[in-house]
Amino acid sequence: MIPWEHLDSTEVPGDGQEMSLHRRDEEYSIRVAGVELMNSRVYGSEEALAELACAKIKDRADARILIGGLGMGYTVTAALGKLGAKAQCVVAELVPAVVDWNRKYLSHLAGHPLKDRRVTVKVIDVAQILRSASSGSGRSGYDAIMLDVDNGPDGLTRKGNDWLYTQSGLGAAYAALRPHGVLAVWSAGTDTVFIKRLRRAGFRVEEHRVRARGSRGGSHYIVWLASK
């Protein structure tokens, strides 16, 4: 078997854990503290997150969306494929190295999404964008917000991500959405407490079971669509 090659490492802002990028032939892996966070062979659920969310806003030619978490770019590419030429896609990525890795090593995997003129990448915690947008100091709001941050409500890598899934965080997401906008949340598993929290924030909630490898199967994950 071809051994893994270590390409680069960085520190996750705020908690000091090591995040690393590895390659084995044409397969890439991003790990945190040695635990695999994502793999280039398994991205069906990331695509489903974007496709399900964008289906809710398909009639908005000038849709403005926010994606929390760049990953390997698959969510961005899937969203771009469903959006019109006048759409805007803001991608918030906390870890600067992840953006660098996408441009240097990973860009070809998802079809070079960061080169699309509709995309703006911000090296920032998505929570900061939500706080700003919900307070009225941001721009005109979003038609869709997609969160693929950590492992969903049951965080894996960074305790600072937990705020996104609290009542305060969900309230900020609700306020940052335009009328009839949608919040889409990826999760490693279902969470009845989180669903109740979404409803308390004012959302109508749908739960979708998606597969790690899309039509090829694989593990099951959850995407919640929370409509304003």
Partnered with residue 64 across adjacent β-strands are 88
Residue 14 within a domain: no
Residue 16 within a domain: no
Measure the CA–CA gap between 222 and 86, rounded to whole angstroms.
30
Residue 37 within a domain: no
Backbone angles phi and psi of 74, in degrees to 5: -70, -40
Residue 2 within a domain: no
Residue 205 within a domain: yes
Boundaries of domain holding 159 = 42-227
Residue 7 within a domain: no
167: which DSSP letter? H
Residue 31 within a domain: no
Which CATH number characterizes residue 221's domain?
3.40.50.150
Domain tally, the chain: 1
Longest dimension (CA), the chain: 54
Listing DSSP states for 37-98 in one string gives EEETTB-HHHHHHHHHHHHTTTT-TT-EEEEE--TTSHHHHHHHTTS-TT-EEEEE-S-HHH
pTM: 0.93
Residue 4 within a domain: no
pLDDT in tens, the chain (228 residues): 899 999 999 999 988 899 999 999 999 999 999 999 999 999 999 999 999 999 999 999 999 999 999 999 999 999 999 999 999 999 999 999 999 999 999 999 999 999 999 999 999 999 999 999 876 654 579 999 999 887 678 654 445 578 899 999 999 999 999 999 999 999 989 999 999 999 999 999 999 999 877 667 678 999 999 999
